[in-house]
Amino acid sequence: MDYKDYYATLGVKKDASQEEIQKAYRKLARKLHPDVNKDPQSEVKFKEIGEAYEVLKDPDKRKKYDQFGVDWKRAQQTGAPPPGWEGVHFDFGGGQGFEGFDFGGMGGGEGGFSSFFEMLFGGGAPGRRGARRGGFGGAFGAGAGADAEAQISLTLEEAVRGGTREITLADPSTGQRRTLSVRIPEGIRPGQKIRLAGQGQPGIDGGQAGDLLLKVEILPDSRFRIEGSDIHTTVPVTPWEAALGGEAEVETPTGRLRVKIPPGSSSGRKIRLRGKGLAKAGGAKGERGDLLAEIRVVVPETLTERERELFEELAEASSFRARM
């Protein structure tokens, strides 16, 4: 396995803070996302920064990566340093481990443990899920594969609309690539996971394969802000629209909508578009949050002579005072 410098991939120093790592990733993601960047190499680079971010954003994975480099994944899966497998212990759910177990001359050195694991697992220790599901293969019967996790980055429009997305995954140990079709539920929120059954680690001796869990991240969009299941945006209106009322177009993740501006609307007033947000946590199936458009009164930067006259007439005629 070739060593990958995840810090260089994101363009940050090795002592970068979590905030710096997140900022660097988001900047690159906006630049390289295939929906935005049509360069044929952008998709490859986008996946590379996603792989780097998935490791460096997680303090435990990052620690293992810093310590073991190319072997960080094995250390992450087993919870023990790969070289020598010192102090090896597997929890079988009933509290019995391998402490003090007589390996018949196979314990002690790296070669001994390696031969033991190859005999049982065909070349590597299974995930904890495989142990729980009943077995290790070989003399112990078939065992289920471990779940695998990856990250999928969506635009806000993709998250709101839902649909399907094809993703390509590469196995770092074999270099093999596979393309999967992912169904994205409408209104999916950041942090939610999409489960692809049977697409995780393969089972042992014909055992059931694990699942692939795709953790959703929504790419930043300067037009919108997400709070829970609600989406926030702004709608600019003229002083006369704010005073007299009228209609205005509001930008949403799925296109523009016309809304009514109530008369006497000041900056900060919110227009609620119900059900135009993301899925509600713990809500009924299909229940979604709202899109909240905040009114922002804007004035011309420069005035024509006639506009200035009218504003001056209004100032003289009006008894309204914004301040006491």
Decide which of 113, 140, 167 is a domain's last residue.
140
* Residue 84 sits in the same domain as residue 207: no
**The length of the chain, given as a count of residues:** 324
* Residue 233 sits in the same domain as residue 160: no
* Residue 19 sits in the same domain as residue 129: yes
* Residue 237 sits in the same domain as residue 200: no
The confidence score (pLDDT) of residue 77 equals: 56
Q: Which amino acid is at 67?
A: Q
Tokens of 115: 């031969």
Q: How many helices (H) and strands (E) does the chain have?
A: 10, 11
| pLDDT at residue 103 greater than cutoff 70 | no
287 within some domain: yes
* Residue 157 sits in the same domain as residue 132: no
114 within some domain: yes
Taking only the tens place, the pLDDT of each residue in 151-171 is 899 999 999 999 998 888 776
The confidence score (pLDDT) of residue 31 equals: 85
323 within some domain: no
* Residue 67 sits in the same domain as residue 113: yes
Decide which of 218, 241, 275 is a domain's last residue.
218
CATH code of 243's domain: 2.60.260.20
Domain that holds residue 153: 148-218
Q: Which amino acid is at 85?
A: W
The pTM is what? 0.54
**Averaged over 249-275, what is the pLDDT?**
94
The confidence score (pLDDT) of residue 321 equals: 87
The confidence score (pLDDT) of residue 93 equals: 34
| pLDDT at residue 108 greater than cutoff 80 | no
Taking only the tens place, the pLDDT of each residue in 175-231 is 678 888 899 999 999 999 999 988 888 777 777 888 899 999 999 999 999 999 999
CATH code of 127's domain: 1.10.287.110
Rounded to whole angstroms, the Cα distance separating 109 from 113 reads 7
Tokens of 277: 């947000």
* Residue 107 sits in the same domain as residue 72: yes
Decide which of 218, 240, 265 is a domain's last residue.
218
1 within some domain: no
Rounded to the nearest 5°, which phi and psi values hold at 84?
85, -25
Neighbours of 235 (CB within 10 A): 19
